[in-house]
């Protein structure tokens, strides 16, 4: 084989040489160059392989593989690359198995052989027609043998390379400068077709054909003028059945043996169908959209008797304001619109703004239509439902049926008299047991005595301090008044009665003085001349400020209250005839607000903040504790029968206790708008009154029945107004006339009013 190829090659060479000689052109064909290179390749086989080996030693295998991978795509036309590859392969082989050169060589030989075969074809072509006759490619120019290198390398040398014979090619002596160039440009008519050849450093003037070729290549046409671009295609694979096979290969065995893989697949499918994993394609039934008479035989199923089912409420029907052309009164004004926009969407009365369109074609689509439908959907399936009883009550039926106030007369109805004279708020008033006189104590430091019927002020006593409480002695045979101010309780004898009565009261006061030595917390003392003349008879000095004084119904005992959180000295009971005082309680049970004596029995009522305690004075024990259900009791009154108590509290409530029933209030009355300050029972009539900071006195009818079965009947009968509210204080005290159905009230406006 080798020999053959060599022979062939030598013959090639010979023909080439002959050709060269014959043509004597400066340019050569590609083929020629290729062949020369191939020669070199053959040389490589022996010599430069070792050199390469050394060079490539430092290259890692992976890099090589990368290289080879990249250059794999190279086609046969790129001979250089191909050769490189061969070399690489060779190297790799050598690296791989040391001295196994024979195989490598044989490989190489094979390759070269193939190539030469190709060349043969090319050569024969050339022989037929010298198509490279006019080939003027500079690349193959071998006048300069330096090869394809940048010519700058020869910049500093006088020569630019070597010719075929190994002689130096010298640069032209004189280099062209700019000026020469310019002159040349101006004068030389062939300047435009002159090309500088860097390799030979000479100017070449292109021939007409060459210029033509350049032009055509620039246009993207084929270099050959005679080449027909649009040759009819000859289809290699066509629908025509050819008599000969394309390849001469015999048919594979597998082409006539049934496929095992397919068999496996089929059997799998069969198995899957058998097992029901794959279902045969369902016949599309259109029964989904087909309707029939569903309710042909109506039977009440279980759900019908489902008691807990709550049908969804229907959407409310639209009103006039939803119309596209609503009456003008339903449109929003600007302020209303502003309010609508300010409101939270959930607070709005309508979710839309009523708008008016003058005709139907102007009505736009409603933006929130889908939203609202969606919200309805959410309501239907997400909203918890609950059955709610809607009250369908006539409000008139709710009003209790009470006896008419007209039938419950007498009771005070109109304001008839106003007692003016005080300059400060009047804290306390009291009516004499005869009903002729009225005493009042005020913050201006005076106690005034009024004639009830004429509203004349009969007497004014300056006591020198804000009067907290006044109380007229209920015993009609004496005429005494207890006054509480600061920490003193004064006993006045106003001498506004018969001489007998006055003298009897004097006698009571000047009773024995026995216990002066007992230096208790309370000291009794007579008054001096000056005060005597005013009518002040006794002074009972207390350790702390006194807020309230109360007489026992017999008129001998007197109780005083000194509210204090921290001590048990809050209540004192004084006996006037003996000038004796005692503290009935050993323990502090809370802040005492007010106290009262039972009208007939020896009981004592003490109202603390939240409750009322009832003590038996004889047995000296607590009998009852009433829970007032209010925050802070302000006042208390005991029914003349002694079985009922009312308590006013600062949280606007009035509680009525029936002592026979329970310790909880029998009735809570929330009539007042503000704190209740005073409560009072009438001594004879079934009336009670409450006074409050809202400036009203409410008179109620409260019949107490003698038989225990019937509960008291409580009916409010009159709301009396008249007092002016000053400094948020309205009426401070209220009291009934002992015999007439009249009620007195004293207020923060420094007046006392009588309602008859």
Partner 1 sequence: MGGLQKKKFERGSATNYITRNRARKKLMLSLPDFRRLCILKGIYPHEPKHKKKVNKGSTAPRTFYLLKDIRFLLHEPIVGKFREYKIFVRKLKKAYGKTEWSAVERLKGNKPTYKLDHIIKERYPSFIDALRDIDDALCMCFLFSTFARTGKCHVQTIQLCKRLTVEWMNYVVAARALTKVFLSIKGIYYQAEVMGQLITWLVPYQFSHDHPTDVDYRVMATFTEFYTTLLGFVNFRLYHSLNLLYPPKLDSKAELELKEENEDDYAMNSECYIEKLSALSATLARVVSTAEEEEAQLDQFPVEGEDMERMEAREQEQRKQEVQKKLFEGLKFYLNREVPRESLAFIIRGFGGEVSWDKSAYIGSTYEVTDETITHHIVDRPNIDKQYINRYYIQPQWVYDCINSKIRLPVEDYFLGVTLPPHLSPFVEEKEGDYVPPEKMKIMALQRGEKPAQNQEDEEEEEEEEGEDEEEEEDDNEEEEEEEEEEEKAEEKNLKKMEDQRSQGKSLQVKVTPGKLKVENPARLEQEEKAEEKRLAIMMMKKKEKYLYDKIMFGKKRKVREANKLTAKRKAFDDSEKAKKKKTRK
Residues 614-673 that bind partner 1 (CB under 8 A): 669-671
Which residues inside 367-386 make contact with partner 1, applying CB under 8 A? 367, 369-374, 376-378, 380-386
Closest CB to partner 1 among residues 640, 716: 716
Which residues inside 571-590 make contact with partner 1, applying CB under 8 A? none
Residue 687 Cβ vs partner 1, minimum distance, rounded to whole Å: 14
Residue 416 Cβ vs partner 1, minimum distance, rounded to whole Å: 13
Q: Are 671 and 693 in contact (CB under 8 A)?
A: no
Is there binding between residue 346 and partner 1 (CB under 8 A)?
Answer: no
User: How many CA within 13 A on the CB side of residue 512?
Assistant: 4
513 CB-near residues (< 8 Å, 6+ apart): 524, 579
Is there binding between residue 345 and partner 1 (CB under 8 A)?
Answer: no
Residue 702 Cβ vs partner 1, minimum distance, rounded to whole Å: 12
Closest CB to partner 1 among residues 100, 379: 379
Options 128, 179, 291, 499; binder of partner 1; rule CB under 8 A: 291
Q: Are 665 and 657 in contact (CB under 8 A)?
A: yes
Residue 408 Cβ vs partner 1, minimum distance, rounded to whole Å: 11
Closest CB to partner 1 among residues 23, 372: 372
- Rounded Cα distance, 89 and 79, in Å: 15
The secondary structure of 481-546, three-state, reads EEEEECCEEEEECCCCCCHHHHHHHHHHHCCCCCCCCCCCCCEEEECCHHHHHHCEEEEEECCCCC
- Rounded Cα distance, 697 and 189, in Å: 135
Residue 355 Cβ vs partner 1, minimum distance, rounded to whole Å: 6
Residue 681 Cβ vs partner 1, minimum distance, rounded to whole Å: 19
Residue 462 Cβ vs partner 1, minimum distance, rounded to whole Å: 20
User: x-or-dash pattern for partner 1, window 489-518, by CB under 8 A?
Assistant: ------------------------------
Which residues inside 296-325 make contact with partner 1, applying CB under 8 A? 298-301, 303-304, 308, 310-312, 314-315, 317-320, 322-325
Is there binding between residue 327 and partner 1 (CB under 8 A)?
Answer: yes
- Rounded Cα distance, 637 and 310, in Å: 55
- Rounded Cα distance, 66 and 74, in Å: 14
CA angle 56, 62, 64 (to 5 degrees): 45
Q: Exposed (0-12), middle (13-18) or buried (19+): which is 32, by Cβ within 10 Å?
A: buried
Residue 752 Cβ vs partner 1, minimum distance, rounded to whole Å: 14
What tokens appear for 138 in the block? 């500079």
Q: Which stretch binds partner 1 (CB under 8 A): 170-178, 227-235, 357-365, 687-695?
A: 357-365
- Nearest alpha carbon to residue 161 among 131, 207, 126, 201: 201
Closest CB to partner 1 among residues 172, 327: 327
The secondary structure of 629-688, three-state, reads CCCCEEEEEECCCCCEEEEEECCCCEEEEECCCCCCCCEEECCCCCCEEEEEECCCCCEE
Closest CB to partner 1 among residues 99, 358: 358
Options 329, 335, 344, 347; binder of partner 1; rule CB under 8 A: 329
The secondary structure of 80-129, three-state, reads HHHHHHHHHHHHHHHHHHCCCHHHHHHHHHHHHHHHHHHHHHHHHHHHHC
Q: Are strands 437-442 and 446-451 parallel, antiparallel or unpaired?
A: antiparallel
Is there binding between residue 716 and partner 1 (CB under 8 A)?
Answer: yes
Is there binding between residue 717 and partner 1 (CB under 8 A)?
Answer: yes
Residues 134, 140, 144, 147: what is their CA dihedral angle, to the nearest 10 degrees? 170
> How would you classify residue 465: left for phi > 0, otherwise alpha for psi between -120 and 50, otherwise beta?
left
Q: Exposed (0-12), middle (13-18) or buried (19+): which is 552, by Cβ within 10 Å?
A: buried
Q: For helices 61-71 and 79-97, what crossing angle results, to 10°?
A: 150
Q: Is the dihedral of CA 295, 301, 307, 309 positive or negative?
A: negative
Residue 401 Cβ vs partner 1, minimum distance, rounded to whole Å: 8
Residue 353 Cβ vs partner 1, minimum distance, rounded to whole Å: 9
User: x-or-dash pattern for partner 1, window 404-443, by CB under 8 A?
Assistant: xxx-------------x-----------------------
Options 95, 444, 721, 740; binder of partner 1; rule CB under 8 A: 721
Residue 305 Cβ vs partner 1, minimum distance, rounded to whole Å: 9
- Rounded Cα distance, 607 and 403, in Å: 32
Options 26, 352, 510, 673; binder of partner 1; rule CB under 8 A: 352
H helix or E strand, kind and range, residue 370? helix 369-382
Q: Which stretch binds partner 1 (CB under 8 A): 186-194, 511-519, 599-607, 718-726?
A: 718-726
Which residues inside 240-279 make contact with partner 1, applying CB under 8 A? 278-279
User: x-or-dash pattern for partner 1, window 671-710, by CB under 8 A?
Assistant: x--------------------------x------------
Options 326, 435, 590, 640; binder of partner 1; rule CB under 8 A: 326
Options 70, 243, 246, 360; binder of partner 1; rule CB under 8 A: 360
What is the side-by-side strand order in the sheet with 557-561?
A: 548-551, 557-561, 571-575, 580-582
Closest CB to partner 1 among residues 59, 278: 278
Q: Which stretch binds partner 1 (CB under 8 A): 63-71, 103-111, 359-367, 622-630?
A: 359-367
Which residues inside 172-201 make contact with partner 1, applying CB under 8 A? none
Size of the site for partner 1 (CB under 8 A): 91
């Amino acid at each position: 084989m080798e020999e053959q190829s060599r022979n062939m090659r030598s013959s090639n060479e010979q023909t080439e040489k002959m050709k060269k000689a014959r043509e004597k052109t400066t340019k050569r064909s590609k083929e020629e160059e290729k062949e020369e290179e191939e020669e070199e390749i053959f040389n490589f086989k022996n010599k430069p392989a070792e050199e390469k080996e050394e060079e490539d030693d430092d290259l890692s295998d992976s890099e090589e593989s990368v290289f080879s991978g990249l250059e794999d795509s190279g086609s046969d036309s790129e001979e250089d690359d191909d050769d490189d590859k061969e070399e690489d392969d060779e190297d790799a082989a050598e690296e791989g198995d040391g001295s196994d050169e024979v195989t490598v060589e044989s490989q190489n030989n094979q390759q070269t052989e193939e190539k030469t075969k190709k060349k043969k074809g090319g050569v024969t072509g050339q022989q037929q027609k010298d198509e490279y006759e006019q080939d003027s490619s500079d690349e193959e120019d071998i006048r300069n043998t330096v090869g394809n290198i940048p010519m700058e390398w020869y910049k500093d040398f006088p020569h630019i390379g070597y010719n075929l014979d190994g002689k130096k090619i010298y640069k032209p002596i004189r280099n062209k400068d700019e000026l020469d160039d310019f002159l040349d440009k101006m004068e030389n008519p062939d300047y435009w077709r002159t090309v500088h050849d860097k390799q030979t450093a000479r100017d070449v003037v292109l021939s007409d054909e060459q210029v033509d070729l350049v032009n055509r290549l620039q246009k993207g046409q084929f270099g050959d003028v005679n080449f027909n671009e649009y040759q009819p295609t000859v289809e290699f694979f066509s629908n025509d059945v050819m008599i000969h096979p394309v390849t001469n290969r015999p048919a594979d065995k597998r082409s006539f043996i049934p496929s095992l893989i397919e068999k496996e697949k089929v059997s799998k499918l069969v198995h899957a169908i058998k097992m029901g994993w794959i279902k045969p394609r369902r016949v599309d039934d259109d029964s989904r959209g087909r309707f029939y008479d569903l309710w042909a035989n109506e039977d009440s199923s279980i759900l019908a008797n489902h008691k807990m089912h709550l049908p969804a409420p229907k959407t409310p029907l639209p009103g006039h304001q939803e119309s596209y052309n609503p009456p003008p009164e339903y449109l929003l004004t600007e302020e209303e619109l502003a309010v609508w926009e300010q409101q939270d969407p959930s607070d709005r009365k309508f979710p839309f703004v009523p708008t008016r369109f003058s005709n139907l074609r102007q009505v736009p689509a409603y933006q929130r239509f889908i939203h609202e439908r969606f919200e309805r959907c959410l309501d239907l399936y997400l909203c918890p439902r609950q059955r709610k009883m809607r009250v369908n009550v006539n409000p008139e039926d709710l009003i209790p049926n009470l006896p008419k106030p007209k039938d419950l007369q007498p009771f005070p109805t109109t304001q008839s008299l106003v007692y003016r004279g005080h300059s400060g708020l009047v804290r306390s008033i009291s009516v004499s047991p005869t009903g002729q006189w009225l005493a009042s104590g005020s913050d201006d430091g005076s106690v005034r005595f009024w004639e009830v019927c004429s509203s004349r002020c009969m007497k004014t006593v300056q006591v020198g301090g804000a009067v907290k409480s006044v109380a007229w002695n209920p015993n009609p045979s004496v005429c005494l008044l207890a006054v509480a101010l600061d920490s003193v309780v004064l006993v006045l004898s106003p001498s506004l009665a018969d001489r007998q009565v006055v003298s009897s009261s004097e006698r009571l006061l000047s009773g024995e003085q026995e216990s002066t030595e007992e230096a208790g917390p309370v000291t009794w003392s007579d008054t001096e001349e000056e005060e005597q003349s005013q009518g002040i008879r006794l002074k009972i000095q207390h350790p702390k400020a006194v807020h309230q004084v109360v007489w026992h119904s017999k008129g001998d005992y007197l109780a005083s209250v000194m509210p204090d959180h921290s001590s048990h000295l809050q209540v004192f009971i004084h006996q006037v005839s003996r000038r004796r005082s005692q503290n009935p309680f050993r323990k502090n049970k809370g802040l005492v607000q007010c106290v009262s004596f039972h009208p007939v029995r020896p009981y004592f009522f003490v109202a603390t903040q939240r409750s009322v305690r009832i003590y038996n004075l004889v047995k000296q024990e607590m009998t009852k504790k009433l829970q007032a259900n209010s925050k802070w009791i302000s006042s208390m009154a005991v029914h003349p029968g002694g079985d009922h108590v009312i308590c006013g509290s600062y949280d606007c409530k009035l509680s009525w206790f029936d002592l026979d029933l329970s310790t909880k209030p029998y009735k809570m009355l929330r009539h007042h708008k503000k704190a209740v300050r005073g409560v009072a029972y009438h001594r004879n009539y079934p009336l009670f009154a409450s006074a409050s900071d809202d400036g009203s006195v409410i008179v109620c009818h409260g019949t107490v029945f003698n038989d225990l079965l019937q509960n008291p009947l409580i009916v409010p009968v009159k709301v009396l107004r008249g007092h002016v509210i000053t400094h948020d204080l309205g009426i401070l005290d209220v009291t009934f006339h002992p015999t007439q159905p009249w009620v007195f009230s004293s207020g923060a406006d420094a007046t006392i009013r009588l309602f008859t």
